[in-house]
Amino acid sequence: MSSTDKVFAGSIPKIYDEYLVPLIFAHYAADLARRIAALVPTTVLETAAGTGAVTRAVTAALPPDVRYIATDLNEPMLAVAAQRQSEDPRVTWRQADATALPFDDAGFDVVCCQFGAMFFPDRVKGYAEAKRVLRPDGTFVFNVWDRIAENVFADDATRVLAKVFPDDPPRFMARTPHGYHDKAVIKAELEQAGFRHVAIETLAGVSRAPTPEYVAFAYCQGTPLRNEIEARDASKLQAATDALAEDIRTRHGPGPVEARIQAIVIEARR
């Protein structure tokens, strides 16, 4: 993982929330919310909460007496999440590292995490921390992106930016968000962390946007791809965004556009 892969700062968190969440994250947040609500928890911990897409979806599905703690390593992302969440006394926001959680053992019925495990520097340690803070009958519910070939717009972005920067292609999307999709590896790492009951499934969806420009702006300027582009040549940020928009327009039409997305959803019980 590059040192810039976890940097969600500057204008990225706001763009991420306004553009990328409805584009690819909202569908899977709703799925996690359904799964968590079915577990009827009274205490929930969310790690890698980002700008709160799952927080909003899950709290909307849970009763008024639930206790919900949403955490993220990145304080700028949490700031956006807290601003976006309606006033809700059930929710506590806290900066925290998912691999070193500042919570007592056996304190939560559910730990959830949307598209965050790929960013853990030590996934087994992160999984072990989730298990530690779960009650004996608790469940760890999370998802990760499937391979990049199954996520068309992300694949488009990676291919186009390789043409814009042929000597040093930005590989963030392939390397990190879409770099952890081997189900056997995921299961083995969860078992290494102490989980004994692991269910894994593939969940396809459709990413929709009003225009190609929307998609290009979301990926090039609302993710750490922006950090990679600017590290190579900051003056080319808009040109790179325009190149991706043109490619999407050619391949998918002038808009509205849609393309396949696919994730892997995991439920691990103690």
197 has a pLDDT exceeding 80:
yes
Q: What is the pLDDT of residue 1?
A: 55
- CATH code for the domain in which residue 42 is found: 3.40.50.150
Cβ burial 87-121 (10 Å sphere, 16+ → b, else e): eeeebebeebbbbebebeeebbbbbbbbbbbbbbe
Provide the pairing of β-strand 67-72 with 43-47.
parallel
- 1 in any annotated domain: no
- 5 in any annotated domain: no
> Roughly what angle, to the nearest 10 degrees, separates helices 26-38 and 53-61?
40
Q: Looking at the 3D structure of the chain, how many domains does it have?
A: 1
For residue range 22-51, what is the model confidence (pLDDT) as tens digits?
Answer: 999 999 999 999 999 999 999 999 999 999
- Count of other CB atoms within 10 angstroms of residue 202: 12
9 has a pLDDT exceeding 50:
no
- 4 in any annotated domain: no
For residue range 166-192, what is the model confidence (pLDDT) as tens digits?
Answer: 999 999 999 999 999 999 999 999 999
In which band, very low, low, confident or very high, does the pLDDT at 3 lie, cut at 50, 70 and 90?
very low
DSSP state of 100: B
**Average pLDDT of span 136-150:** 97
Residues 6 or more apart whose CB falls under 8 angstroms from that of 106 comprise 132, 133, 134, 135, 136, 138
Q: What is the pLDDT of residue 11?
A: 73
Q: What would the DSSP string read from start to end of 167-213?
A: TS---HHHHTTTS---HHHHHHHHHHTT--EEEEEEEEEEEEESSHH
- Count of other CB atoms within 10 angstroms of residue 158: 22
- 126 in any annotated domain: yes
> Roughly what angle, to the nearest 10 degrees, separates helices 183-192 and 123-133?
50
Q: What is the pLDDT of residue 86?
A: 84
- 125 in any annotated domain: yes
Q: What's this model's pTM, rounded to 2 decimal places?
A: 0.93
SS3 of residue 2 by DSSP: coil
For residue range 79-88, what is the model confidence (pLDDT) as tens digits?
Answer: 999 999 888 9
Q: Are 5 and 224 in contact (CB under 8 A)?
A: yes
SS3 of residue 46 by DSSP: strand
For residue range 101-133, what is the model confidence (pLDDT) as tens digits?
Answer: 999 999 999 999 999 999 999 999 999 999 999
- 7 in any annotated domain: no
SS3 of residue 98 by DSSP: coil
Q: What is the pLDDT of residue 6?
A: 44
Cα 152 to chain centroid, rounded = 16
d(CA 119, CA 103): 20
- 238 in any annotated domain: yes
- 262 in any annotated domain: yes
Mean pLDDT of the chain: 95
Q: What is the pLDDT of residue 4?
A: 47
Q: What is the pLDDT of residue 7?
A: 44
Q: What is the pLDDT of residue 13?
A: 86
Q: What is the pLDDT of residue 5?
A: 38
In which domain, by residue range, is 63 found? 12-269
**Average pLDDT of span 241-268:** 97
